[in-house]
Amino acid sequence: MPYGRKTPPAVNLDGRQPIEIVDAVKSFGHITVLRGLSLTVGPGEVVVLIGASGSGKSTLLRCIVGLETLDAGDIRSVGLSVREKHNLRAIRTHVGIVFQQFNLFPHLSAVDNVTLGPRLVLHQSREEARAQGLALLGRVGLADKADSYPLKLSGGQQQRVAIARALAMEPAAILFDEVTSALDPELVGEVLAVMRQLAQDGMTMLVVSHEMKFARDVADRVVFIDEGVIVEEGNPDLIFTEPRDPRTRQFLRRVLEH
Amino acid sequence: MGFSAVFANIAILINGFVVTIQLSIIAIVLGTLLGSLLGILRALDFRILSGTIRAYVAVFRGTPLLMQLFFAFFGLPMLGFDVDRAAAAVVALTSYSGAYISEIVYGGIIAVAKDQGDAAKAVGLSFWQMMRFVVLPQAMVVTLAPLVSWYIGVVKDTTVASVIGYTDLLRNATAVVAVTNSPFETYLVTAGFFFLLTVPMGRVVAILEARTARGWQ
C-alpha cells in the first residue's frame, strides 16, 4: 500500500485526467505492439505497469508523449489529444518522461540540463531557472553536483538529474520508462528512493518497472500488460498475492523467482 | 638552373601561393555553408528532399573534380553564363566540397540525433530549439575533425584550376619550371609552400581528434 499522501498535485487540472489512454493501437511494420489498450491515470495516482519485454509498455509511454504516433485510438494528457500535432509541445510540458538510458545532454552541466526546458519553453529567466534547478537538484540529493557534467556522474546520479530535469517543467504527471534497468544494482536504491518521495509528495506517476518490491510498496495500482493489452489490473497486494489470470500468475512466477 | 634560379623567381611562386590561399578559403567557406545546409536538410528526413540531396551527392562524388571543372568552365558559358577561370574554379570546388561535407554533417547529426532528440523533445523543445541547443552543438564536435581533414584535401584540390590556366601556385610553378629548367627544385619548393598550409592543418586535425575522443569533460 502506498504511503499517506502529504500534498495534493500542484497542477490545476480542472477536472481533467492527467493521462487517458483510449484503445491505443500501434504497430511497427508487421508487429502490432499495442492492441487497443485503454488506461486512465488519475491525479496523484501511482500506476506501475508490469509485463514481459516486448509487451508494449515502453511503446505506450513513448506514445503518450508523442515520441511515437498511434495508428488508432487516442491518448489525452490533461485533456489534450496526442493525435493533434500542434498539441505535442504542450503535452510534453504537462507530462514528463525519464528514460532508461538517462539521455542527459552531455555538453551541459547538471543544472544546465535541468534549466534548458524551463528557459526555452517556459520562458523563465536565467536566474529563476537556475534557482529552481538548484532546488530540484537538492530535492534529488545532488545540490553539490549542480555544475558537474554528466560524464563525471554515476548512473544513479545521472538518472536523478534526469528526474530533476523532468520535474523542472512542473508536469502534471511523470512517466518512468524502466529507469533503473540500466543501473548497477547498488545504484538502483537511490533512484527508487527519489521516486518514493515523489509519490509521497503527490506526483502522478506512470511507471514501467521490473522492481516488484517498489511496485508493491508504492503503487496505487498495478497493471499487468501482455501482448499489447491489459490482462489484469488492481491493488498491488491483490495482484501480487492472488492474481486471477493464469498469464499474470505465470509472469509473476518467472519474475519473482530470482 | 637549380635552387638559386628558383629562388630568383620566388615572387612568382608567392603570387601563386596567395591565389591558392584565396581560392582555398572561398571554396572552404562556401563549401561548408552549402554542405551544412544540405546535411541539415537531409536530417529532416522529408522523402523528396532527402532523395534530391542524395542524388546531388551521388553526382558530385561520382564524377571527377577535374571533369566538373571543365563542365563549369567550358559548359556553363554555353548556357549563357559568363564564367571566368576564377568563377569556374569556385563553382566546381564549392559544389564538389558541398557534396562531401553534407555527408560529414549528416553523419554527425544522426550520430547524435536519436536519444538526444528524444530527450530534447521530452522537455518540450521545438525542432529548431532542439537542433540549436542539443543536436548541433554535439554534432559539431563530432564533425570538426573530419571537416578539417577534408579542408586539407580542398587546399590540394585547388590545383585543378591550374589545368584551365588559372594562376594558382601550381600553374605558376610550371611557369617557373619553364623559365629555370629546374623541375625537381621548383616542385620541391612548391611542395614546401603546400606544407605551410597542410602541416598546421594536420596538427589541428590531430588536436580535434584527441578532444573528440576525450568527450565532454
Query: B interface mutation test: which of A69, A85, A116, A121 has the most B CBs within 10 A?
Result: A116
- On chain A, the residues whose CB falls within 8 A of the CB of B118 are 67, 99, 103
DSSP structural state of residue A54: T
CB atoms within 10 A of CB B204: 16
Which among A106, A120, A166 is the nearest to B125, CB-wise? A120
Contact (Cβ atoms closer than 8 angstroms) between residue B115 and residue A99 = yes
Q: Is A65 on the interface with B (CB under 8 A)?
A: yes
* HSE-CB for B19 with a 13 A CA cutoff: 24
Burial label for B91, CB within 10 Å (0-12, 13-18, 19+), is buried
* Nearest Cα to Cα of residue B158 among B25, B15, B23: B23
- B118 to chain A: closest CA residue: A67
- On chain B, the residues whose CB falls within 8 A of the CB of A116 are 123, 125, 133-134
Distance of CA B47 to the CA centre of its chain: 27
* HSE-CB for B9 with a 13 A CA cutoff: 25
pLDDT (tens digit, 0 to 9) for every residue of chain B, 217 residues total?
688 888 999 999 999 999 999 999 999 999 999 999 999 999 988 999 999 999 999 999 999 999 999 999 999 999 888 889 999 999 999 999 999 999 999 998 988 878 899 999 999 999 899 999 999 889 888 899 999 999 999 999 999 999 999 999 999 999 999 999 999 999 999 999 999 999 999 999 999 988 887 777 6
A67 with B133: Cβ contact below 8 A: no
* Nearest Cα to Cα of residue A159 among A182, A143, A136: A182
Residue A178's pLDDT is 94
- A149 to chain B: closest CA residue: B217
The alpha helices in chain A, defined as continuous H runs, are 57-64, 88-94, 110-120, 126-139, 155-167, 185-200, 212-218, 236-241, 246-256
Residue B215's pLDDT is 72
Contact (Cβ atoms closer than 8 angstroms) between residue B139 and residue B185 = no
Residues 6+ apart with CB under 8 A from A161: A102, A104, A110, A113, A114, A137, A140, A142, A145, A150, A153
Give the CA distances from residue B207 to residues B110, B138, B144, B149, in Å, rounded to whole numbers and listed in that order: 23, 17, 10, 12
DSSP string covering A141-199: T-GGGTT--GGGS-HHHHHHHHHHHHHTT--SEEEEESTTTTS-HHHHHHHHHHHHHHH
A65 with B122: Cβ contact below 8 A: yes
Q: Which amino acid, A171?
A: P
Structural domains for chain B: 2-214 (1.10.3720.10)
Torsion of CA B113, B133, B101, B195, to 10 degrees: -130
- Strand ranges across the sheet with A80-81: A31-41, A19-28, A72-77, A80-81
Give the CA distances from residue B69 to residues A10, B20, B73, B149, in Å, rounded to whole numbers and listed in that order: 66, 16, 6, 22
- On chain A, the residues whose CB falls within 8 A of the CB of B123 are 92, 96, 116-117, 121, 165-166, 168-169
Which residues in chain B (96-115) have CB-CB distances under 8 A to chain A?
115
- B128 to chain A: closest CA residue: A120
Which among B116, B124, B126 is the nearest to A105, CB-wise? B116
Q: Which amino acid, A60?
A: L
* HSE-CB for A221 with a 13 A CA cutoff: 19
Residue A157's pLDDT is 95
Residue A6's pLDDT is 47
Q: Describe the crossing of helices A126-139 and A155-167 by its angle, rounded to 10 degrees.
A: 130
- A152 to chain B: closest CA residue: B217
CB atoms within 10 A of CB A189: 14
Name the pairing type of β-strands A173-177 and A204-208. parallel
The alpha helices in A19-80, defined as continuous H runs, are 57-64
DSSP structural state of residue B164: G
A107 with B215: Cβ contact below 8 A: no
pLDDT (tens digit, 0 to 9) for every residue of chain A, 258 residues total?
344 444 555 556 777 889 999 999 999 989 999 999 999 999 999 999 999 887 789 999 999 999 999 999 999 999 999 999 999 999 999 999 999 999 999 999 999 999 999 999 999 999 999 999 999 999 999 999 999 999 999 999 999 999 999 999 999 999 999 999 999 999 999 999 999 999 999 999 999 998 889 999 999 999 999 988 999 999 998 888 888 899 998 888 888 776
Residue A253's pLDDT is 87
Minimal CA separation from B13 to chain A, in Å? 45
A89 with B124: Cβ contact below 8 A: yes
pLDDT in tens, A53-94: 877 899 999 999 999 999 999 999 999 999 999 999 999 999
Taking the model in full, what pTM does it have?
0.81
